[in-house]
Structure 1
Amino acid sequence: MTKDYDEKIPYSDYEQKGYLEQDFRFFHIKDRINIDVPYHYHDFHKVILILGGNVKYLIEGREYELLPFDFVLVNRHLIHKPVTYQNEGDLSGDGGKNDYYDRVILYLSDGFLSKYGLLDAFAKAKEIGSYVVRFPGDVSTSLYEQFIKIERDIQREKDEYAGELLTRIDVLKALIDFNKACISEDFGFKPEARYNRKVIELINYITENLSGDLSIDYLADHFYMSKYHMMRVFKNETGYSIHQYISEKRILYARNQIMSGIPATTACLECGFKDYSSFSRAFKNQLGMLPSDIKS
C-alpha cells in the first residue's frame, strides 16, 4: 500500500496498535516533523527504512538517533514510538529536507516470516538487544532499490499480469537479502542507543519471569531501588507504568500460549495471574476478547 506524499494520512492507518490480517503491508510516507505518536506495540513485526528527517526511535527503553538509510527493526510486542524534531536553532520551516519525516515501512506477520524462515534479522536484533541496522552504502542502496521496486509493483498491480504475485515475489526477495545482510554483516547492528541500565535490566527480568512475583515491592527489593524512584524512571524511559507493562506482556504471552493449544486456565497461571476472573477481565480489556474466544 502506498500513499502520495501530499496526502494527509491519519495515524490510525499505519501506526495502529493491533493486528495484521494480511501477510504484509507496505507504506511510503512523508510528512512534517513534530508529529505526535504515542507509545504502542503491534502484533506483527515491522521494518522501517529511514529516508529523511530528524528522527529518534524509542524501543523498550532504548533511544536511537537515526540517520538516512538506517533500518529500524521492531519485533512484535515491543513498545516503541518515533520522535521527530527540528535541529536547535532551525526555525525556518521552509520545507527543506529536514522538515519532513520520510520513511518506508513494511508490516510483516509472524506467520508469514516463519513460513519462509525469514525471522533471522528480528531474532538477531532481540539476541543482541539492538534494533537499528546501519549497513555500508552499497548494501543500503541495493536494499533501498528493492523497497522502491515493491512500491512500483503495488502501483502497477491492477495492470500487470499476476500483479499481486509479482509484488509478493519482490517482497520475499527483499526480505531474503535483508536477512542475509543482517546476519552476515557483523558491523550492521552498531548504532548506539541511549538507555538507563537499570530500566533495561528491569525489562529483561520482567520478560524472563512473567510467571513469577513481579510486584512493585519485590522488584524494588530485587534491584535495590526505591520503589517510587523505580516507577518514575521506568515511566520516563518507556512511556508505560511498570504495572501496565507487566500486565500487557503477561496477556500477550498468555494469548500466544492459548493459540498454541494450551488451556486458558493453564495459561492464566503460567503468565502470573492468581485467579482466572482477574485474568479474563484483563484479557478482555487489553485485547477486546475473552480467552475462550481464542482458537488454537
Structure 2
Amino acid sequence: MPNRFQHFDTRQKMKGDSYEIFYYQDRHLGPVALHHHDFYEVYFFLGGSVDYLVEGQTYQLQPGDLLLISPLELHQPIIHPDRDPYQRIVLWIKPEFLHRYSTAGTSLVHCFDISRPAHTNLLRLAPQQQELIRQTLDELLRQTATDQFGRDILCQALLLQFLVQLNRQIRDGSGTQEPEKESSLTDRVIAYIGDHYAQPLSLDGLAEEFFVSKYHLSHEFARVMGVSVYRYITLKRLLIARQMLTTGLRPSVVYEACGFRDYAGFYRAFKAEYGCSPTEFTQT
C-alpha cells in the first residue's frame, strides 16, 4: 500500500480524462453532505467506523468492503467517532471510459447497473478476493503518482484489469450483500420519488400516498436521510436534469421533464447547487 495519504478533497467534479484515484486517512472529518456526481465511484473501505447511505439503503461497513455507486444515486457516508482513523481508497471513473472499452460481449458498466436483478451497492468479498482487489488498486495508486515511461498505458491497463475483476465478482455472485434496511417507509418514499419525479410532489401528497402524517414522514425521512423530503426531491430532479443536459437536450425541455414548475425555479436551483446556469453547464 502506498504510504502517502492525500488531503481530502471536497470537490465533486473530475479533473482527469478517464479516472482519478485517492487514498485518504482522516481522524477528524466533518459531516459529508448527501451528494451525487456525473461519474462512477468505487469506494474501498479500509478502516474506521462508517455507515454508508445510498438512496435510502444503509450499509454498515467492514474493512475490505467495496461500494459501487452510479451517477444516478444520491449517497453519503455517516462517519462515527472511532479510535482508528477513517481510511479508504476512492476511485472515480468517467462513463465515457467504461463505454469506450466495453464490447458486445463485455459490459464494464454491468457492475454499476442499478436495474440489474438483486442490485446492491455493497460487495463483501472473501479475504483472498479482497487482497487481489487491493493489490490492483495499490499498483494503480503507485503508477498514477509516477511520471515514468509508459505510465499512461500501464494505468489504463490496471484500470481495465480492475473493472474486469469487479464485473466477474458481480456476475459470479461472489460476496454481494443485501442492504441493511434502515426504514421501510423511507425506502418506499424514495422509490416513489424516483418513479414520479416528473410529476408534482409535495410532503402533503406523499403523506397521503403512504397513509402517514406529514409530521411523521418528515421526521422519519430526515432521520434516515439527513435531509428534508423537499431537499431530496430537489436533488433528485437536479441529478436527472444534469444527466439529460449531457445528452444535448435543451434546458427549456429538461426543466419540465424533471418536474420543475417553471424555468425560473429550475434556473435558481441549478445555479445554487452547481454554481453555473443550465446553459453554461451545457457549454462546459
TM band (smaller chain): 0.7 to 0.9
The equivalent residue for 1:165 is 153
AA aligned opposite 1:4: R
Match of 2:227 in 1: 240
Q: How many residues align?
A: 275
Q: Distance in 2 between matches of 1:20 and 1:127?
A: 30
1:189-208 matched pairs, under 5 angstroms: 189-208=176-195
Residue by residue, what CA displacement relative to the aligned partner does 1:210-265 show, whole Å, maximum 9, x if unpaired? 11121111111111111111111111111111111111211221222222122222
Alignment partner of 2:239 out of 252, 257, 261: 252
Deviates further, 54-63 or 215-224: 54-63
Aligned pairs for 1:1-296 within 5 A: 4-5=4-5, 9=7, 11=8, 13=9, 15-16=10-11, 18-22=12-16, 23-32=18-27, 35-43=29-37, 44-85=39-80, 93=83, 99-117=84-102, 118-124=108-114, 128-155=118-145, 157-158=146-147, 160-184=148-172, 186-295=173-282
Contact preservation (8 Å) 2:203, 2:214: yes
The answer to whether the 8 Å contact 2:113/2:119 transfers is no
In 1: Cα distance, 2:117 partner to 2:234 partner: 23
Q: Is the 8 A contact 2:72 2:240 kept in 1?
A: no
Give the percent of matched residue pairs that are identical in Structure 1 and Structure 2: 27
In the alignment, structure 2 segments of 5+ residues that lack a partner are 103-107
TM-score (norm 1): 0.84
1:90 alignment counterpart: none
Whole-angstrom CA distance in 2 between matches of 1:126 and 1:228? 35
SS at match of 2:44: strand
Q: Report the counterpart of residue 96 of structure 1 in structure 2.
A: none
Aligned-partner SS, 1:128: coil
**Residue 115 of structure 1 aligns to a residue in which SS?**
helix
Structure 1 alignment gaps of length 5 or more? 88-92, 94-98
The amino acid across from 2:269 in the alignment is A
Q: 1:251 to 1:82 in 2, by over 3 A?
A: closer
Distance 1:55 1:276 in 2: 39
- What do the CA deviations read for 1:48-104 (whole angstroms, capped 9, x no partner)? 1122233222222222111121111222243323234357xxxxx5xxxxx122221
- Measured at CA, do residues 58 and 3 of structure 1 come closer, stay the same or move farther in structure 2, by a change above 3 Å? farther
1:209 partner amino acid = H
- 1:3·1:28 contact (CA, 8 Å) conserved in 2? no
Do the aligned partners of 1:41 and 1:76 also contact (CA within 8 Å) in 2?
Answer: no
TM-score relative to the length of structure 2: 0.88
Amino acid at match of 2:257: E
CA contact (8 A) 1:280 1:290 kept: yes
Deviations 1:92-143 (A, max 9, x none): x5xxxxx122221111122222322321111158753521111222222211
SS of the residue 1:63 aligns to: strand
> C-alpha distance in 2, partners of 1:165/1:181?
25
CA offsets 1:175-199 (integer angstroms, 9 cap, x no match): 1211221222x24221541310110
- CA distance in structure 1 between the partners assigned to 2:99 and 2:48 by the alignment: 33
**What CA RMSD, in Å, does the superposition of the two structures yield over aligned residues?**
2.2
